[in-house]
Structure 1
Amino acid sequence: MSTVPGHVLTDPAWVAARIDAMSRAWGTDVPRVAGTLWWCMAASTLVEQIAVAYAAGTPAPVAALGDFDCVVRPDGGVEHAQFHRVPVDATGRSVRSDVGGETGAAAADEVAAALRDTLTAVISQVAAVSGAGVPALWAVVSDAIGNRALDAGSPDAAVRLAADVGPRLPTPRFVTVEGRAFVRRASCCLVYEAPGREMCTSCPKRLPAERTELLAAAARCRY
């Protein structure tokens, strides 16, 4: 593992090297596939702590490029983000982004604006390096937020966070199968295009009936 400052996520040479490492790890020579896989992991890392904070009603970290470091695996994947600050009020106390009033609104605005700016900057680099489409990469973020909020027990938190980030981010969607909630995905990670891999259970490219059947089996396995 290595630790790098968040701003390297907008360095095209650094991003290209990480996507190349991901290509080797997954055995694919298609940059679009490796880039999408890399972004699925990186996006989930960037939004996880913010989505969990929205779900829990605790102060959310600021994801400005200068306010976090990334822990990177040998295969190029971003394993973890180490955020350095959360919004504070005039007394220096950390502020929840889901409380009412001007202070809470300002905290939500700061968190959302920082995340929006970081996502916009990094997505543009991933798209340029890999050839993946910008809307497809934003859809990956939507699904990542949905999954992390769902893991935290609050699908509503995903919808609130996406709304705060802004219109480029599709609203996370959910579906309940056999009593269990799943993200109704807007994105495809393209893993099935890598050698020896199959579509994910919830892949939006599956036939709807097939996807529902697989999700039902996954829901039953949970209990």
Structure 2
Amino acid sequence: MVNTVQGRTLTQPDWLAARIVEMGTSWGTTSPRIAGTLWWCMAASALVEPLARAYAHEENGQPPVLDQLECAVRPDGGVERIQVTAPRDDAVECGVALRETLAAVIAPVAEVSGAGAPSLWAIVADAIGNRALDAGAPAAGTRLAAEVADKLPAPRFVEIGGRTFVRRISCCLVFEVPGCEMCTSCPKRPAAERKALLEQLAAES
């Protein structure tokens, strides 16, 4: 059953700690750093997806002002979907609103989980790149990240086997979970190994 909470809830340390424990239980890890990073990968993707899609389609996105967000939370603690519930405010710039919302959430996530804030910002950059790529317009991700600016790195892309992939700068730490392996595109893989795996993936698709 999916539960709905308001955006400001994502900044509450006690609530975050409970959701991160749930995520850890789901994945089989007791490490707050690992569980918190996995939780943030999902939350960050949900936060940036509407704007990345809107930018990819050259539409006016809704500024994701924290107090105007509604978040769908799964039983495992993960944020499944985030949407803006207020009418569009053209006086608020989308990139600025996203930057402020990200900063407000990243600080307590870092505090509760022990994950480094720069690592959490890097996850956002990769999430923007992937969501823009899903929407068919990698350049939209670059544009959105540039508007957010501040501590957010720019997403990077690479062409391998005739297919575009995000050249990741972040790690979700899933390989530190017992029984799990590194993601195919993990930046911690040796470059040659990662390229070979992505070539294989491109050929299969």
Partner in structure 2 of residue 19 of structure 1: 20
Partner in structure 1 of residue 46 of structure 2: 45
Partner in structure 1 of residue 103 of structure 2: 120
Mapped contact 2:50–2:83 kept (Cα < 8 A): no
Partner in structure 2 of residue 183 of structure 1: 166
CA shift for structure 1 position 73: 0.3
Partner in structure 1 of residue 63 of structure 2: 62
Partner in structure 1 of residue 144 of structure 2: 161
CA shift for structure 1 position 62: 1.6
Mapped contact 2:168–2:187 kept (Cα < 8 A): yes
Distance 2:151 2:121 in 1: 7
Mapped contact 1:59–1:86 kept (Cα < 8 A): no
- Kindly provide the CA deviation profile for residues 124-162 of structure 1, in whole angstroms up to 9, marking residues without a partner as x: 011000000000000000000000000111111011000
CA shift for structure 1 position 61: 1.3
CA shift for structure 1 position 46: 0.3
Q: How many residues align?
A: 204
Distance 1:139 1:119 in 2: 12
CA shift for structure 1 position 86: 5.8
Distance 2:87 2:143 in 1: 18
Map 1:184-199 to 2 at 5 A.
184-199=167-182
TM-score computed with the length of structure 2 as normaliser? 0.97
Partner in structure 2 of residue 92 of structure 1: none
CA shift for structure 1 position 177: 0.4
Partner in structure 1 of residue 189 of structure 2: 206
- Kindly provide the CA deviation profile for residues 14-57 of structure 1, in whole angstroms up to 9, marking residues without a partner as x: 00000010010011011100000000000000000100001101
Distance 2:183 2:87 in 1: 35
TM-score computed with the length of structure 1 as normaliser? 0.89
The answer for unaligned runs of 5 or more in structure 1 is 90-105
Q: Structure 2 vs 1, CA of residues 147 and 48 (structure 1 numbering), >3 Å: closer, same or farther?
A: same
Distance 2:166 2:106 in 1: 22
Task: Report the AA paired with residue 113 of structure 1.
Answer: V
Distance 1:176 1:85 in 2: 39
Q: Which structure 1 residue ranges, 4+ long, deviate > 2 Å from structure 2? A: 85-89
Distance 1:80 1:149 in 2: 16
Say if 2:123 is the partner of 1:140.
yes
- Identity over aligned pairs, percent: 60
CA shift for structure 1 position 88: 4.6
Task: Report the AA paired with residue 108 of structure 2.
Answer: Q
User: Which of 156, 174, 192 lines up with 2:157 in the alignment?
Assistant: 174
- Kindly provide the CA deviation profile for residues 58-91 of structure 1, in whole angstroms up to 9, marking residues without a partner as x: 11112111111100000000001121246455xx
Mapped contact 1:60–1:86 kept (Cα < 8 A): no
The answer for unaligned runs of 5 or more in structure 2 is none
The DSSP-based 3-state class of the residue aligned with 1:69 is strand
Distance 1:12 1:37 in 2: 16
